[in-house]
């Protein structure tokens, strides 16, 4: 049922190359989910998120600090190794220091036809963030038009917003099936769907989602759900880790990270000023900790997800040296545990020590068995 999404995720570079050949369009790689993809899509461009491979590498040290997070170094390694040689452009919306450095190093050492740094407000709680970002998106739109030699009309932005909003609704419909006592899909399958979503044409992804949603109500996984887990924290697309955890008596039923719900949770609310509508969506979306400074808006959202998806426990992950999440984790851990949700903290690197993590997860799950919490 999920084979197509798995193929797209595993063969992401082939998909992009085939898309270019089939459509004659341009492909732009982006480093952060605050990038307003709708503008690229409206311009006939395929947005592809630049992700790592979870393979050891030793080529990034001359280009980026070794103390920067493994995710940004893994992403840069993919570029230096030529795996993204099909990209016509790269861009970023102001993110954390580490991923910004990966973008800057890519700019200098892996030249492409188009590169763009979109200035995204860090203080998203400010009312001034809306007009500021609206202006930045207008500048970005103009830069894309100048690069492609094609005007991006309101009708094309409307179409992009409609397609992206439909995808967000379909993704939330998919996640509804994870709320059931016996979820209709595993956490691994959900991860494959979300990751593939960030590197495929949304119209194609929508069609595949609609097909899955038709058949999902009758599906029986024929497996014990076990401990209902939430995964929270830094970027995570490590399918081997998810697969391991779900093989030892648990099921991931929901997540809060940028390769999960934070990517698709909020829709664009259409209005006459299309660029302001886009700005509001990206300001009001579930925030990354690099933006969520004062009010900790994420914590009530995380607690609400835990309640809705009937979470037993949470695995909190941090990419090594990830400063925003390191600052974020104590408050989240405290809030979850005060609400009766035990947590396990794990620190991720480029490669995950599956054996060691398996032992720690098994010990965590034994606590639920002993206390008969599920």
pLDDT category, 349, cuts 50, 70, 90? Answer: confident
pLDDT category, 293, cuts 50, 70, 90? Answer: low
Please list the residues that pair with 233 across neighbouring strands. Answer: 317
**In terms of DSSP bridges, do strands 343-348 and 250-256 run parallel, antiparallel, or are they unpaired?**
unpaired
For the cut 70, the answer to whether the pLDDT of residue 312 exceeds it is yes
Average pLDDT over residues 43-55: 94
The whole-angstrom separation of Cα 202 and Cα 198 is 9
Identify which of 12, 16, 27 has the alpha carbon closest to the alpha carbon of residue 91.
Answer: 27
pTM of the model: 0.94
For the cut 80, the answer to whether the pLDDT of residue 154 exceeds it is yes
Contacts of 169 (CB under 8 A, 6+ apart): 267
Res 369: pLDDT: 78
| Burial of residue 66 (number of CB atoms within 10 Å: 0-12, 13-18, 19+) | exposed
Give the domains, in start order, of the chain with CATH numbers. 3-151 (3.40.50.11890), 157-371 (3.40.50.11900)
Res 126: pLDDT: 87
pLDDT category, 295, cuts 50, 70, 90? Answer: low
The whole-angstrom separation of Cα 176 and Cα 184 is 9
Bigger pLDDT: 48 vs 258:
48
Contacts of 180 (CB under 8 A, 6+ apart): none
Q: What percent of the chain has pLDDT over 70?
A: 97
């Amino acid at each position: 049922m999920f084979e197509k999404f798995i193929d797209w995720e595993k063969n992401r570079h082939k998909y992009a190359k085939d898309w270019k050949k089939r459509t004659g369009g341009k492909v732009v790689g982006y480093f952060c989910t605050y990038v307003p993809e709708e503008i690229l899509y409206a311009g006939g461009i395929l947005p592809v998120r630049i992700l790592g491979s979870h393979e050891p590498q030793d080529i990034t040290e001359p280009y980026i600090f070794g103390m920067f997070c493994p995710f940004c170094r893994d992403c840069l390694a993919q570029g230096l190794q030529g795996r993204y040689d099909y990209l016509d452009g790269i861009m970023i919306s102001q993110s954390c220091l580490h991923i910004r450095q990966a973008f800057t190093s890519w700019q200098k050492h892996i030249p492409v036809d188009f590169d763009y740094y979109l200035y995204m407000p860090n203080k998203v709680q400010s009312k001034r963030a809306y007009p500021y970002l609206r202006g930045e998106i207008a500048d970005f739109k103009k830069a894309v038009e100048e690069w492609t030699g094609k005007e991006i009309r309101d009708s094309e932005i409307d179409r992009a917003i409609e397609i992206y909003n439909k995808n967000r609704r379909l993704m939330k419909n998919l996640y509804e099936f994870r709320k059931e006592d016996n979820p209709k899909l595993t956490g691994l399958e959900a991860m494959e769907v979300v990751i593939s979503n960030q590197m495929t044409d949304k119209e194609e992804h929508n069609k595949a989602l609609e097909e899955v949603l038709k058949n999902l109500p009758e599906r029986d996984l024929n497996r014990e759900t076990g401990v209902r887990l939430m995964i929270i924290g830094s970027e995570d697309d490590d399918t081997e880790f998810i697969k391991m955890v779900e093989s030892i008596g648990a099921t991931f039923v929901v997540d809060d990270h940028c390769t999960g719900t934070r990517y698709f949770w909020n829709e664009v609310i259409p209005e006459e000023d299309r660029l302001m509508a886009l700005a509001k969506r990206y300001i009001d979306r579930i925030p990354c900790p690099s933006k969520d400074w004062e009010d900790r808006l994420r914590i009530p959202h995380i607690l609400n997800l835990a309640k809705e998806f009937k979470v037993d426990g949470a695995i909190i992950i941090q990419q090594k040296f990830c400063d925003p999440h390191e600052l974020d984790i104590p408050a989240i851990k405290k809030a979850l545990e005060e609400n009766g949700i035990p947590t396990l903290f794990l620190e991720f690197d480029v490669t995950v020590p599956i054996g060691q993590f398996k032992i720690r997860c098994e010990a965590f799950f034994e606590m639920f068995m002993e206390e008969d919490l599920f």
